[in-house]
């Protein structure tokens, strides 16, 4: 055989091997996405079904709210997922501002938090800290399925001021209450 034939055969064999590896990886990815799609479709269907029958109700809480502010959702001990970045070997536990980095590494820190949704604010208490978000500054509060700590989690994503918060309130009431508040525009003074 000539050198030309050996080079062509080598290139074809490498191309076939790379094609087989790519196909195998595509099958693995397809299986992971299929599980996600099934979970996500069921979750979104349940949220949409419950929205038709949802009635916004005032919740009684231990805190005194400012005049004109009414609490419509409250839950203690929900799971809050946040990204922990490392800089020079030190952990920085601030909210991530980089959307791709936030979801790229599947290791999210899971902590317990309390959440309050009023007609004017969302308040999240965690680790002796709190995060108060004006409801008018919330870009998005949606039912969201995400991959956290090696499992699919059906929860809520809140996007505001280049920040993202992932919660798992274990009920759809947070999303439904937010939608009802926005639909009724109860945020007016």
Residue spans of the domains in the chain: they are: 1-53, 71-184
Residue recorded with tokens 């979104």: 44
What is the reported pLDDT for 115?
93
Residue 146 CA to residue 180 CA, distance in Å, equals: 24
Asked if 44 and 69 count as a contact pair (C-beta separation under 8 A), the reply is no
For CA atoms 39, 40, 46, 50, the dihedral sign is: positive
- Which CATH architecture group holds 71-184? Roll (2.30)
Q: What is the CA radius of gyration of the chain?
A: 23
Q: Is 185 helix (H, G, I), strand (E, B) or coil?
A: coil
Reading the chain (189 residues) residue by residue, the pLDDT tens digits are 688 899 999 999 999 999 999 999 999 888 888 888 999 999 999 998 888 888 888 888 888 888 889 999 999 999 888 765 544 444 444 444 444 444 455 567 788 999 999 999 999 998 888 889 999 899 889 998 887 777 888 889 988 887 788 888 888 899 999 998 988 765 554
Q: Whole-prediction pTM value?
A: 0.73
Asked if 78 and 169 count as a contact pair (C-beta separation under 8 A), the reply is yes
What is the reported pLDDT for 12?
96
What is the reported pLDDT for 72?
92
Tokens encoding 129: 């800290």
Angle 3-53/173-184 helices, nearest 10 degrees?
A: 70
Q: Is 9 helix (H, G, I), strand (E, B) or coil?
A: helix
What is the reported pLDDT for 15?
96
What is the reported pLDDT for 95?
45
Angle formed at CA 81 by CA 43 and CA 137, multiple of 5 degrees: 80
């Amino acid at each position: 055989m000539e050198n030309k034939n050996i080079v062509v055969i080598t290139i074809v064999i490498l191309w076939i091997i790379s094609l087989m590896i790519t196909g195998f990886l595509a099958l693995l990815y397809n299986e992971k996405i299929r599980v996600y799609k099934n979970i996500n479709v069921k979750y979104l269907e349940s949220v949409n079904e419950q929205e038709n029958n949802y009635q916004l109700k005032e919740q009684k809480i231990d805190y005194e709210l400012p005049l004109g502010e009414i609490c419509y959702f409250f839950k203690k001990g929900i799971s809050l997922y946040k990204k922990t970045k490392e800089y020079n070997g030190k952990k920085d536990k601030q909210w991530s501002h980089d959307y791709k980095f936030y979801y790229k590494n599947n290791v999210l820190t899971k902590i317990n938090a309390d959440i309050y949704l009023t007609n004017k604010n969302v308040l999240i208490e965690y680790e002796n800290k709190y995060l108060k978000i004006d409801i008018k500054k919330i870009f998005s509060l949606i039912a969201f399925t995400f991959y956290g700590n090696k499992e699919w989690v059906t929860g809520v994503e809140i996007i505001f001021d280049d920040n993202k918060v992932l919660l798992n309130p274990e009920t759809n009431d947070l999303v439904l209450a937010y939608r009802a508040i926005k639909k009724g525009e109860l945020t007016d003074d």
